């Protein structure tokens, strides 16, 4: 067994060497350049884009390519695509790899449970057809030199747990890493993640295996690494409103404990996030999008409900700062 301090380590993904094993998972509607860069500043080792349609790259959609804009701090960055067509996935991979500054790797989504994605045969629908997963990964690998990773779930439902078969197909197709969100498509984001599936996959898979699911704190992360033996983690919901989870995890692994951020630290982080978002998207759009983020930053704080009720009415950066400063003014300063 590894010592806790040894559970944080570099990881090799194909020909790519990443210095640590704590990644930000692709998060539709959340993992834009502002949020990703904030996570990197709190010790995230690799970030992924939001989930992007392969068809957008095939059509040459400027909007789709724009979603791959990255912060200079994002040294290690993955682009995630969804598709049900080996041809489209390969075309998208080639287009992404040909960018002036290509990402570090490309990920194929085989886990999204959202109906509008599943009905196209993409996302979690691919869990029903491991042969198609093999064909898609193989086509992507043949179209570009970037490492290809795959994110999967345990299966379609409790009656069809087939993560070993799906991961095996991805591996045979040339995948360099597989991440298992240890829930079924039927579970969505409810119920409990079955970490035993991650441990079993790690024992049987010949490529790096990352775990995801129910990792909501640094303590959860340390426990998953310890109990499953997986090569690393992808933080999803646990990072929303909580970018410091990456640093907390490293503290838990190195010191056996991690400090919880104060209300003041959470709100200051929210304002930093707002500034990054304004820089990327302009003030009007950033202020609309930051409402959901501030709802997450304020979750569980004293007076959080009143704070959220005020923040959802914020339309400018000045509105946000005035509301936050007013809230913080009513909180005692931390002791020495």
pLDDT at 69: 87
Q: What is the mean pLDDT of residues 221-242?
A: 96
CATH superfamily of the 263-329 domain: Putative flavin oxidoreducatase; domain 2 (1.10.1200.80)
Torsions phi, psi for 82 (to 5 deg): -130, 145
For residue range 207-227, what is the model confidence (pLDDT) as tens digits? 999 999 999 999 999 999 999
Domains 4-255 and 263-329 share a fold: no
pLDDT at 29: 87
The DSSP letter of residue 157 is S
Instruction: Give 53-114 as a DSSP string.
Output: EHHHHHTT-HHHHHTT---TT-SSEEEEEE-S-HHHHHHHHHHHHTSSS--SEEEEEE----
For residue range 275-309, what is the model confidence (pLDDT) as tens digits? 999 999 999 999 999 999 999 999 999 998 999 99
Q: Give the residue numbers marked as catalytic.
A: 112
pLDDT at 334: 55
| Residues in contact with 275: Cβ distance below 8 Å, sequence separation at least 6, in sequence order | 317
E strands present in the chain: 11-13, 16-18, 22-24, 46-53, 77-82, 105-110, 148-155, 177-184, 209-212, 232-235
The DSSP letter of residue 275 is H
CB 150 within 8 A of CB 137: yes
pLDDT at 1: 44
For residue range 67-124, what is the model confidence (pLDDT) as tens digits? 888 899 999 999 999 999 999 999 999 999 999 999 999 999 999 999 999 999 999 9
For the cut 60, the answer to whether the pLDDT of residue 273 exceeds it is yes
For the cut 90, the answer to whether the pLDDT of residue 175 exceeds it is yes
pLDDT at 63: 75
Q: Positive or negative CA dihedral for 30, 63, 42, 262?
A: negative
CATH 3.20.20.70 is held by the domain 4-255:
yes
Domain ranges, ordered by start, for the chain? 4-255, 263-329
Residue 280's nearest CA partner among 1, 56, 2, 70 is 70
Question: pTM to 2 decimals?
Answer: 0.93
Place of tokens 């490529």: 207
pLDDT at 2: 53
């Amino acid at each position: 067994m590894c010592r806790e301090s040894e559970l944080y380590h570099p990881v090799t993904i194909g020909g790519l060497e990443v210095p640590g094993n704590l990644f930000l998972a692709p998060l539709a509607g959340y993992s834009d350049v502002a949020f990703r860069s904030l996570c990197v500043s709190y010790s995230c080792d690799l970030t992924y884009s939001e989930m992007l349609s392969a068809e957008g790259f095939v059509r040459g959609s400027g909007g789709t390519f724009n979603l791959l804009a990255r912060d200079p701090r994002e040294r290690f960055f993955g682009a995630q695509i969804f598709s049900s067509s080996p041809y489209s996935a390969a075309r998208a991979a080639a287009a992404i790899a040909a960018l002036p500054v290509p990402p570090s790797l490309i990920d194929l989504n085989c886990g999204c449970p959202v109906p509008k994605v599943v009905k196209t045969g993409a996302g979690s629908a691919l869990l029903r057809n491991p042969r198609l997963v093999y064909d898609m990964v193989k086509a992507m690998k043949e179209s570009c030199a970037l490492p290809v990773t795959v994110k999967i779930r345990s299966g379609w439902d409790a009656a069809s747990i087939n993560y070993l078969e799906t991961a095996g197909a991805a591996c045979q197709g040339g995948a360099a890493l597989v991440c298992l969100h240890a829930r079924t498509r039927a579970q969505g984001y409810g119920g409990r993640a079955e970490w035993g599936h991650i441990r079993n996959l790690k024992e049987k898979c010949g490529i790096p295996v990352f775990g995801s699911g129910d990792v909501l704190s640094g303590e959860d992360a340390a426990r998953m690494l310890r109990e499953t033996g997986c090569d690393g983690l992808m933080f999803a919901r646990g990072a929303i409103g909580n970018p410091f989870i990456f640093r907390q995890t490293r503290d838990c692994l190195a010191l056996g404990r991690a400090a919880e951020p104060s209300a003041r630290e959470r709100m200051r982080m929210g304002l930093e996030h707002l500034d990054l978002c304004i820089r990327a998207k302009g003030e009007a759009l950033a202020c609309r999008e930051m409402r959901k983020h501030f709802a997450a930053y304020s979750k569980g704080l004293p007076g959080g409900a009143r704070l959220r009720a005020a923040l959802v009415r914020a339309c400018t950066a000045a509105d946000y700062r005035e509301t936050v400063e007013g809230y913080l003014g009513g909180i005692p300063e931390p002791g020495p």
